[in-house]
Amino acid sequence: MEIRRIHEASVEGSLTSLLNLLQEAALFLDRFMVGCYSETPLHIASMLGHSDFVQEILNRKPELAGELDFRQSSPLHLATAKGYLEIVKKLVSINPEMCFARDIDGRSPLCTLQMSRAMLIS
């Protein structure tokens, strides 16, 4: 039930829903650090460009910036691929080492950016 609610809040970028969930269960974000979830709320919000939602998660659980999804992509990979510069800056400021992380295909966030731009040009 909580997983579905956080997923919906992440997709919508609903900061109010996130804050309500965290008020109900203060350690809720910690479950993503020890669980077997394919992606974190930070992954979803980074991919969809929800900057305020991303900031709130980073304020409360900055370690999530280093979590990888089922494709070994970090939230930085996803924000970079979509061109969300504001979110990219936030993620890099929290965990600059993720600039060097490689996904399952061996791509770094910079490589992901170059590929997404190449697709736009062609």
Over residues 35-57, the pLDDT tens digits come to 667 789 999 999 999 999 999 99
- Helix axes of 51-60 and 85-94: crossing angle, nearest 10 degrees: 10
Confidence of residue 34 (pLDDT cuts 50, 70, 90): low
Which domains are present in the chain?
A: 2-121 (1.25.40.20)
Q: Provide the sign of the torsion angle of the four alpha carbons 33, 5, 109, 99, taken in this order.
A: negative
Q: pLDDT at residue 83 above 60? A: yes
Confidence of residue 63 (pLDDT cuts 50, 70, 90): very high
Q: pLDDT at residue 26 above 90? A: no
Cα-based angle 79, 81, 87 (whole degrees, multiple of 5): 20
This prediction has a pTM of 0.85
* Cα–Cα distance list, 6 to 28, 39, 69 (Å): 9, 11, 16
Question: What is the identity of the amino acid at 81?
Answer: A
What is the pLDDT at residue 36? Answer: 63
Q: How many residues does the chain have?
A: 122
Q: Are 53 and 13 in contact (CB under 8 A)?
A: yes
Q: Are 49 and 10 in contact (CB under 8 A)?
A: no
